[in-house]
């Protein structure tokens, strides 16, 4: 059965791949699984029909037969567990790749989201200029640690895994901030992720939604 995911009808990022359906699309492309997309307006996301799928009224969701999932990390893990290609075959390697998935979402993404929210929503506050460097320093700490661990390896733990897929997705949110450029190995790591054919297919598919909406 072809799974159906949800995505923004008109993404605020103008299809630059920053909304969280992108990581789900990328995972599906990595494992070669076709999928359908149901597009939602901001209003429709808050309707009871969608909240039955997603308690917080957000995207992405994932439906496949009787299964309905929300939370991009849980969806990527589900895809990775049911197909080959995103988790190592040995139990310890698998557990470590899953640890990197949690690290991306729990340890690296939160300070990045805090900065994004500050830049988008708090620019006019009198304390914004003082708060921003503090938020950026928190990100710098994490990036320094991650950069040290990655070293000159291609991926975080052996071959490309769902841990890398989520870590690259999270780091991509820093594009344009200059913070990633402070660590050439992390910039190269992100570029390696973006160069994967599956990433490109996923990116093009979500960009096409925005392009079509703008033309219509």
44 in contact with ligand GTB (CB under 6 A): no
What distance in Å separates the CA atoms of residue 127 and residue 204, rounded to the nearest whole number? 39
What distance in Å separates the CA atoms of residue 134 and residue 126, rounded to the nearest whole number? 15
Q: Which helix (H) or strand (E) holds 119?
A: helix 109-121
What distance in Å separates the CA atoms of residue 66 and residue 113, rounded to the nearest whole number? 32
Residue 72 beta carbon to ligand GTB: minimum distance, rounded to whole angstroms: 4
3-state secondary structure 5-26: EEEECCCCCCCCCCCCHHHHHH
Nearer to ligand GTB, 72 or 206 (CB): 72
> Pick from 13, 157, 182, 204: which binds ligand GTB (CB under 6 A)?
13
> Pick from 4, 9, 10, 18: which binds ligand GTB (CB under 6 A)?
18
Query: Using alpha carbons only, what angle is made at residue 204 by residues 179 and 27, rounded to the nearest 5 degrees?
Result: 75
206 in contact with ligand GTB (CB under 6 A): no
30 in contact with ligand GTB (CB under 6 A): no
146 in contact with ligand GTB (CB under 6 A): no
Residue 91 beta carbon to ligand GTB: minimum distance, rounded to whole angstroms: 26
Residue 172 beta carbon to ligand GTB: minimum distance, rounded to whole angstroms: 10
Query: Using alpha carbons only, what angle is made at residue 16 by residues 29 and 141, rounded to the nearest 5 degrees?
Result: 95
Question: What residues line the site for ligand GTB (CB under 6 A)?
Answer: 11-13, 18-20, 42, 45, 57-60, 71-73
């Amino acid at each position: 059965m072809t799974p159906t995911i949800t995505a923004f009808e008109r993404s605020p990022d103008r299809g630059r791949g920053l909304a969280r359906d992108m990581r789900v699309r990328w995972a599906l492309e990595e494992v070669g699984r076709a999928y359908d997309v149901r597009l939602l307006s901001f209003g429709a996301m808050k309707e009871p029909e969608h909240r039955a799928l997603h308690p917080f009224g957000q995207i992405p969701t994932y439906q496949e037969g009787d299964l309905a999932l929300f939370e991009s990390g849980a969806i990527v893990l589900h895809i990775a567990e049911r197909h080959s290609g995103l988790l190592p075959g040995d139990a310890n390697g698998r557990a470590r790749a899953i640890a990197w998935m949690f690290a991306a979402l729990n340890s690296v993404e939160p300070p990045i989201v805090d900065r994004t929210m500050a830049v988008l929503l708090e620019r006019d506050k009198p304390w914004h200029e003082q708060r921003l460097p503090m938020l950026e320093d928190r990100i710098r700490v994490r990036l320094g640690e991650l950069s040290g661990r990655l070293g000159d390896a291609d991926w975080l733990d052996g071959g490309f895994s769902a841990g890398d897929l989520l870590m690259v997705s999270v780091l991509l949110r820093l594009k344009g901030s200059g913070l990633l450029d402070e660590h050439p190995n992390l910039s190269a790591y992100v570029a390696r992720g973006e160069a994967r054919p599956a990433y490109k297919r996923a990116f093009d598919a979500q960009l096409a939604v925005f392009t079509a909406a703008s033309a219509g």
